[in-house]
Structure 1
Amino acid sequence: MTALDDSRNTSDKEAAQSRPGKARERAGRIWAARTALTAWLGRPLASFHLLLAICALLIVIGLVMVLSASAVISINQGSSAYTVFGKQVVFVAVGLVLFWIGVRVPLRQIRAISPIALWVCVMMLVLVLTPLGSTINGTRSWFKLGPLSVQPVEFAKLALALWGAHMLVVKRGLLHQYRHLLVPVVPAALVLFALVMLQPDLGGTVTLGVVLIALLWFAGAQLRLFGALALGGLAGVVLLAIGTGYRLARVVSFLNPGEDDLGADYQANQALYALADGGLFGRGLGQGPSKWKYLPNVHNDFIFALIGEELGFLGCALVLGLFGSLAVVGMRVATRNIDPWIRMVAATLTVWLVAQAAINICYVVGLLPVTGITLPLISSGGTSVVTTMLVFGVLANCARHEPEAVAALRSQGPGRFGRLMRLPAPEPYQPPVRRKPVRRPAPQRGSGGNAAVRTRQPAPRRKLGGRS
Structure 2
Amino acid sequence: MTALEESKNTTSESEGRAERKERTGRLAAIRTALTAWLGRPLASFHLLLAICVLLIVIGLVMVLSASAVNSINQGSSAYTVFGKQVVFVLVGLVLFWMGVRVPLRRIRAFSPIALWACVLLLVLVLTPLGTTLNGTRSWFRLGPLSVQPVEFAKLALALWGAHILVVKRGLLHQYRHLLVPVVPAALVMFALVMLQPDLGGTVTLGVVLIALLWFAGAQLRLFGALALGALAGVVLLAIGSGYRLERVESFLNGGEDDLGAAYQANQALYALAEGGLFGKGIGQGQSKWDYLPNVHNDFIFALIGEELGFLGCALVLGLFGMLAVTGMRVATRNIDPWIRMVAATLTVWLVAQAAINICYVVGLLPVTGITLPLISSGGTSVVTTMLVFGVLANCARHEPEAVAALRSQGPGRFGRLMRLPAPEPYQPPVRRKPVRPPATPRGSAGRAVGRTTARGRPPAPRRRLGGRS
What TM-score range do you get, normalising by the shorter chain? over 0.9
Which residue of the partner structure matches residue 457 of structure 2? 452
> C-alpha separation between the residues in 2 aligned to 1:59 and 1:455?
84
> Is 1:231 aligned with 2:236?
no
Q: Which letter maps to 2:206?
A: G
Per the alignment, residue 385 of structure 1 pairs with 382
Matches within 5 A, 1:63-462: 63-440=60-437, 446=453, 450-454=455-459
How many residue pairs get aligned? The number is 454
The residue aligned with 1:26 is: 23
Long gaps (5+) in structure 2 = 440-449
* CA deviation profile, 1:346-376 (whole Å, cap 9, x unmatched): 0000000000000000000000000000000
- The answer for the alignment partner of 2:43 in structure 1 is 46
Shift of 1:13: 1.1
- Structure 1 residue 244: deviation in Å? 0.4
Q: Write out per-residue CA displacement over residues 214-259 of structure 1, whole angstroms, 9 at most, x where no aligned residue.
A: 0000000000100100000010001100110000000000000011
Secondary structure in structure 2 of the residue aligned to 1:141: strand
Q: 2:276 and 2:451 mapped to 1: Cα distance?
A: 86
Please report the TM-score for the alignment, with normalisation by the length of structure 2: 0.95
Task: Give me the CA root mean square deviation.
Answer: 1.6
**Percent of residue pairs identical:** 85
CA distance in 1, matches of 2:102, 2:294: 36
Q: Deviations over 1:178-210 (max 9, x none)?
A: 100000000000010000000000000000000
| Contact 1:98–1:390, Cα closer than 8 Å, also in 2 | yes
Distance 1:27 1:430 in 2: 46
Distance 2:438 2:240 in 1: 62
Instruction: For residue 342 of structure 1, report the CA deviation from its aligned partner.
Output: 0.3
Secondary structure in structure 2 of the residue aligned to 1:352: helix
2:34 aligned with 1:37, yes or no? yes
Letter of the structure 2 residue corresponding to residue 214 of structure 1:
A
Cα distance between partner residues in 2 of 1:432 and 1:426: 17
The alpha carbon displacement at 1:415 in A equals: 0.3
* Kept in 2: contact 1:376–1:384 (CA 8 A): yes
Contact kept, 8 Å, 1:444 with 1:451, in 2: the verdict is no
Q: Distance in 2 between the 1:457 and 1:178 partners?
A: 56
Q: Distance between the aligned counterparts of 1:456 and 1:85, measured in 2?
A: 93
In the alignment, the residues of structure 1 paired with residue 424 and residue 107 of structure 2 have an alpha-carbon distance, to the nearest angstrom, of: 14
Give the residue type in structure 1 aligned to 2:116.
Answer: W
**Shift of residue 23 of structure 1?**
1.5
Structure 1 residue aligned with 2:447: none
